[in-house]
C-alpha cells in the first residue's frame, strides 16, 4: 500500500469509531481528500486508494492537475471562488462547496444554463462569525437559499460547508459543528428541501465533526502529510 492508502484506511477506522460513539452508520460519512499543494501522482494515489472525492481550494491549481489524474471521482472546490474564475472552475469541478453570495450563484447559473448542466453546490457558512473568514453569516443564509431555490434552476443546493474558528482543542469546535447541523435542519424545514449534506471537519477535528453529524469530512494533512511549498 502507498502511504496515502495507509493513511486513508486509518482515517476510515477513526471515522468508524466516531460513528460508533454517536450511533451513526459510517456509510454516510464520505471523505474528500484535500490535495492542495500535492503533485498529481499523489492525488492519483488518493483516488486509487478509494477517496470519495478530491478537494482543491484553488481553481488554477486544480485546472493544472486534474487532466493528469485518472479516475472518475468528483472534484470539490473547497476554496473561495471569484466570479471571473467561475467558467474555469466549471471546467474542472463537479461540486462547488463555497457558494457564499447571490452574485456568484447568478454567474454560475448563467454559465450552466448555456450548456444545460446542473451543478451540486454547498453553501459555505461562516459559522463563527469571524471577520476575516469567507462564507456567509448564518443569519443571511436563508435569503441566499431562497435566491438559489427560486432563481437558479441549474444549481442543486446539496449541502452546507463550514470551517469553524481554529482551536487547538477540537472539543472547542463541537458547538460550532452542532450549530451547522441545526442550521441545516432549519433551512431544510423552512424551504422544504431534501436533507442537506454537512461538510465539516478537517485533519485536527474530523472525529468531533463526525460525532456531530458530518456527512463529508475534508482531510488534507492526515492523508498526505504536511503541505508542500507551491512552486
Ligand atoms: C486545506 C483545507 C482542508 C484540509 O485541511 P487539513 O487540516 O490539512 O486536513 C479542508 N478544508 C479546506 C477548506 C481547506 O482549505
Q: How confident is the model at residue 231, as a pLDDT? A: 55
Q: Which three cell numbers stand for residue 75?
A: 472534484
Note whether 208 and 170 are within 8 A (CB): yes
**Among the atoms of ligand 1, which is closest to the Cα of residue 161?**
13
Question: Is 221 touching ligand 1 by the criterion CB < 6 Å?
Answer: yes
Pairing of the two strands 119-125 and 95-99 = parallel
Question: Is 218 touching ligand 1 by the criterion CB < 6 Å?
Answer: yes
Q: How confident is the model at residue 230, as a pLDDT? A: 61
Q: How confident is the model at residue 104, as a pLDDT? A: 98
Q: How confident is the model at residue 214, as a pLDDT? A: 99
**Among the atoms of ligand 1, which is closest to the Cα of residue 222?**
9
Sequence-ordered list of residues with C-beta below 8 angstroms from that of 168, at least 6 positions apart, any chain: 204
- 2-221, CATH topology level: TIM Barrel (3.20.20)
DSSP labels, 118-170: -EEEEEEE-TT--TT--SB-HHHHHHHHHHHHHH-TTEEEEEEEE-PPP-SSG
120 C-alpha to center of ligand 1: Å?
A: 20
* C-alpha distances in Å from residue 149, one per residue of 13, 31, 137: 37, 27, 18
Surface-to-core class of residue 157, CB atoms within 10 Å of its CB (0-12 exposed, 13-18 middle, 19+ buried): buried
Q: Which three cell numbers stand for residue 155?
A: 444549481
Q: Which three cell numbers stand for residue 66?
A: 486534474
CA–CA gap between residue 105 and residue 103 (Å, rounded): 5
**Among the atoms of ligand 1, which is closest to the Cα of residue 57?**
15
Q: What is the pLDDT along the chain (231 residues), one digit of tens a residue?
A: 679 999 999 999 999 999 999 999 999 999 999 999 999 999 999 999 999 999 999 999 999 999 999 999 999 999 999 999 999 999 999 999 999 999 999 999 999 999 999 999 999 999 999 998 999 999 999 999 999 999 999 999 999 999 999 999 999 999 999 999 999 999 999 999 999 999 999 999 999 999 999 999 999 999 999 888 765
Q: How confident is the model at residue 228, as a pLDDT? A: 84
Question: Is 219 touching ligand 1 by the criterion CB < 6 Å?
Answer: yes
**Nearest Cα to 71, choosing from 43, 96, 91?**
43
Neighbour count for residue 40 (Cβ, 10 Å): 15
**Among the atoms of ligand 1, which is closest to the Cα of residue 78?**
13
Question: Is 43 touching ligand 1 by the criterion CB < 6 Å?
Answer: no
75 C-alpha to center of ligand 1: Å?
A: 14
Q: How confident is the model at residue 95, as a pLDDT? A: 98
The closest residue, in CA terms, to atom 6 on ligand 1 is 220
**Among the atoms of ligand 1, which is closest to the Cα of residue 224?**
8
Amino acid at each position: 500500500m502507498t502511504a496515502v492508502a495507509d493513511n486513508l484506511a486509518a482515517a476510515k477506522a477513526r471515522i468508524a469509531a466516531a460513528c460508533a460513539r454517536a450511533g451513526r452508520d459510517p456509510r454516510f460519512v464520505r471523505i474528500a481528500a484535500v490535495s492542495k499543494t500535492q503533485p498529481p501522482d499523489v492525488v492519483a494515489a488518493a483516488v486509487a486508494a478509494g477517496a470519495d472525492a478530491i478537494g482543491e481550494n484553488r481553481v488554477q491549481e486544480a485546472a493544472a492537475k486534474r487532466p493528469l489524474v485518472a479516475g472518475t471521482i468528483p472534484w470539490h472546490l473547497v476554496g473561495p471562488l471569484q466570479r471571473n474564475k467561475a467558467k474555469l472552475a466549471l471546467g474542472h469541478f463537479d461540486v462547488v462547496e463555497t457558494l457564499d453570495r447571490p452574485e456568484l450563484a447568478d454567474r454560475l447559473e448563467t454559465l450552466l444554463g448555456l450548456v444545460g448542466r446542473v451543478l451540486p453546490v454547498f453553501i459555505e457558512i461562516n459559522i463563527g462569525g469571524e471577520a476575516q473568514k469567507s462564507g456567509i453569516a448564518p443569519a443571511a443564509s436563508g435569503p441566499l437559499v431562497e435566491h438559489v431555490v427560486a432563481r437558479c434552476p441549474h444549481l442543486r443546493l446539496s449541502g452546507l460547508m463550514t470551517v469553524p474558528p481554529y482551536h487547538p482543542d477540537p472539543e472547542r469546535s463541537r458547538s460550532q459543528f452542532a450549530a451547522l447541523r441545526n442550521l441545516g435542519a432549519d433551512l431544510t424545514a423552512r424551504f422544504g428541501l431534501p436533507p442537506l449534506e454537512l461538510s465539516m471537519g478537517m485533519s485536527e477535528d474530523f472525529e468531533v465533526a463526525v460525532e456531530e453529524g458530518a456527512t463529508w469530512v475534508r482531510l488534507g494533512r492526515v492523508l498526505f502529510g504536511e503541505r508542500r511549498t507551491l512552486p
